[in-house]
């Protein structure tokens, strides 16, 4: 017997987003209150509390069950190569659309340097060496306490190898980790019932806080960003999906629940556990999912790359500067690094943008105040694009490894 439409999670989340936007528009003073914001923040925190243990259980189980230890390194190298190639496409498309549509050409305003000083300062302090050292946790417990994905991933890989080396002695612990993983996914199932409440609160606060006036004044940039992200997903990721043997539109339909949660909360992390579970249902092996998805959340940020190129061009034009081909090539090269270096940091989008603009021309950094007010509006699209990109990447790497059950993939997508 078919479930009534209103019993489906994606319908509930979609309705909550619409009601939240309406509430924020009609009662902005109430919608911008802290208690409304807490509804969205609370849901994201509930999801985040389970991310570290889920990554630990999935990665440890995947590595510990691998007979060939060399496979871990092989999968990691393939994933990183894929991330860099696709990230380059994302940056290039952002630059191309930015030059064609020229958002910011008619924008007039005065930047408030003080408003973005903290972001520029954070970008200046964070070097490549700092990023590498930050991957190593001060303690294993600290990695879980902070919820740092890369630190948890590093410890999980090491723990998985340790169990692998124990052979039969490690079997009871492997079984315990497998059971703990199933229990954590059950926790996520319970938490997801609160998704409509979280989506309502997050959307109501966004509309109530920033209002329609701020959106209209920077509508060109927002429209260009959403258009570019759509082109990237449909054309670039669509071509990659077709080459591997599946349809990107069917994948989007299959992930509709998770995409709506990401849209409502502006956080791709809020749907990370559900993505890992669904990718395994699509026929990707547990070991590949456990390695590629967490790594992709730090190294495969396609939406963030598109945002940085478009925002850089917008700010330059808004400040009366025109970036030549050399400047734009610098943006592409620097953004490739800075998009990784600020992963997991509060205000990561602004920190990466500050680092990129400073590398091109420090005088452009104050112009970040132009996009400060609508960054929240664009963060939804960043999160959605990053989320879809990581899903496609995991299926691709699984196919490269010969560990993609194509029959399961076809059956699951056709049933979406």
How confident is the prediction for the chain on average, in pLDDT? Answer: 79
Q: How far apart are CA 273 and CA 255, in angstroms?
A: 12
Measured at the CA of 386, the angle between CA 284 and CA 209, to 5 degrees, comes to: 140
> What does residue 284 show for φ and ψ, rounded to 5 degrees?
-80, 140
Specify burial of residue 347 (Cβ count, 10 A radius: 0-12, 13-18, 19+).
middle
Q: Quick check: 350 and 368 in contact, CB under 8 A?
A: yes
C-alpha distances in Å from residue 121, one per residue of 117, 337, 344, 373: 6, 18, 17, 19
pLDDT band at 46 (very low <50, low <70, confident <90, very high): confident
DSSP conformation letters of 77-95 = HHHHHHHHHHHHHHHHHHH
**Mean pLDDT value across residues 25-39:** 88
Which pLDDT belongs to residue 111? 47
Which pLDDT belongs to residue 239? 95
Structural domain containing residue 37: 5-414
pLDDT band at 242 (very low <50, low <70, confident <90, very high): very high
Q: How far apart are CA 401 and CA 29, in angstroms?
A: 53
pLDDT band at 84 (very low <50, low <70, confident <90, very high): confident
pLDDT band at 317 (very low <50, low <70, confident <90, very high): confident
Higher-pLDDT residue of 62, 200: 200
Q: Among 10, 323, 297, 282, which Cα is nearest to 152's?
A: 297
CATH no. for residue 228? 1.10.3860.10
Residue 254 has pLDDT above 90, yes or no: yes
Q: What is the pLDDT of residues 166-193, one digit of tens each?
A: 888 888 998 898 899 888 888 878 888 8
The CA-to-CA distance between both ends of the chain, in Å, stands at: 17
pLDDT band at 391 (very low <50, low <70, confident <90, very high): very high
**Mean pLDDT value across residues 42-47:** 80
Q: Quick check: 104 and 313 in contact, CB under 8 A?
A: yes
Q: Quick check: 202 and 13 in contact, CB under 8 A?
A: no
How many domains is the chain partitioned into structurally? 1
Higher-pLDDT residue of 365, 93: 93
DSSP conformation letters of 62-79 = HHHT-S-THHHHHHHHHH
Q: How far apart are CA 203 and CA 32, in angstroms?
A: 10
DSSP conformation letters of 137-166 = -SSHHHHHHHT-HHHHHHHHHHHHHHHHHH
**Residue indicated by tokens 């990053």:** 386
Q: Which residues contact 34 (CB under 8 A, 6 or more apart)?
A: none
Residue 253 has pLDDT above 60, yes or no: yes
Of the CA atoms within 13 Å of residue 187, those in its CB half-sphere come to 16
DSSP conformation letters of 182-213 = HHHHHHHHHHGGGHHHHHHHHHHHHHHHHHHH
Which pLDDT belongs to residue 290? 84
Residues of the chain with pLDDT > 90, as a percent, come to: 16
> What does residue 404 show for φ and ψ, rounded to 5 degrees?
-115, 120
Q: What is the DSSP letter of 404?
A: B
Structure pTM? Answer: 0.70
Higher-pLDDT residue of 358, 18: 18
Q: Among 118, 154, 119, 122, which Cα is nearest to 135's?
A: 154
> What does residue 402 show for φ and ψ, rounded to 5 degrees?
70, 25
Which pLDDT belongs to residue 235? 94
Q: What is the pLDDT of residues 319-376, one digit of tens each?
A: 777 777 877 887 787 777 666 644 444 445 666 676 677 667 766 766 776 676 566 6
């Amino acid at each position: 017997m078919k479930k009534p439409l209103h019993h489906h999670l994606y319908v509930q989340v979609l309705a909550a987003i619409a009601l939240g936007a309406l509430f924020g528009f009609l009662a902005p003073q109430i919608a911008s209150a802290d208690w409304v914001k807490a509804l969205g923040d609370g849901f994201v925190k509930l999801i985040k509390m389970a991310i570290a243990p889920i990554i630990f259980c999935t990665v440890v189980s995947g590595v510990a069950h691998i007979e060939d230890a060399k496979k871990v390194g092989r999968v990691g190298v393939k994933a990183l190569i894929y991330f860099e190639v696709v990230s380059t496409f994302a940056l290039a498309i952002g630059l191309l659309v930015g030059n064609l549509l020229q958002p910011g050409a008619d924008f007039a305003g005065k930047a408030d340097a003080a408003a973005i000083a903290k972001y520029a300062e954070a970008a200046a302090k964070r070097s490549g060496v700092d990023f590498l050292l930050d991957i190593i946790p001060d303690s294993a417990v600290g990695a879980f306490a902070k919820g740092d994905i890369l630190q948890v991933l590093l410890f999980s890989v090491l723990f998985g190898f340790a169990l692998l080396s124990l052979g039969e002695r490690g079997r009871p612990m492997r079984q315990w980790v497998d059971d703990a993983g199933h229990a954590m996914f059950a926790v996520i199932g319970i938490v997801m019932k609160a998704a409509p409440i979280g989506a309502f609160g997050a959307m109501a606060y966004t509309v109530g806080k920033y209002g329609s006036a701020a959106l209209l004044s920077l509508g060109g940039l927002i429209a260009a960003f959403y258009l570019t992200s759509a082109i990237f997903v449909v054309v670039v990721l669509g071509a990659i999906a077709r080459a591997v043997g599946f349809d990107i539109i069917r994948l989007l339909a299959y992930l509709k629940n998770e995409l709506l949660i990401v849209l409502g909360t502006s956080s791709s992390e809020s749907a990370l556990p559900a993505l890992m579970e669904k990718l395994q249902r699509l026929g990707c092996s547990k070991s590949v999912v456990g390695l590629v998805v967490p790594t992709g959340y730090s190294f495969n940020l396609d939406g963030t790359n598109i945002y940085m190129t478009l925002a850089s061009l917008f700010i330059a034009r808004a400040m009366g500067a025109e970036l030549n081909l050399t400047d734009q090539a610098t943006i592409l090269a620097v953004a490739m690094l800075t998009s990784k270096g600020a992963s997991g940091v509060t205000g990561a989008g602004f920190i990466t943008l500050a680092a990129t603009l400073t590398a091109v021309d420090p005088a452009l950094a104050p112009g970040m105040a132009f996009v400060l007010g609508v960054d929240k509006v664009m963060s939804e699209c960043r999160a959605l694009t990053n989320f879809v990109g990581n899903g496609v990447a995991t299926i691709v790497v699984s196919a490269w490894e010969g560990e993609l059950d194509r029959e399961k993939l076809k059956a699951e997508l056709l049933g979406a």
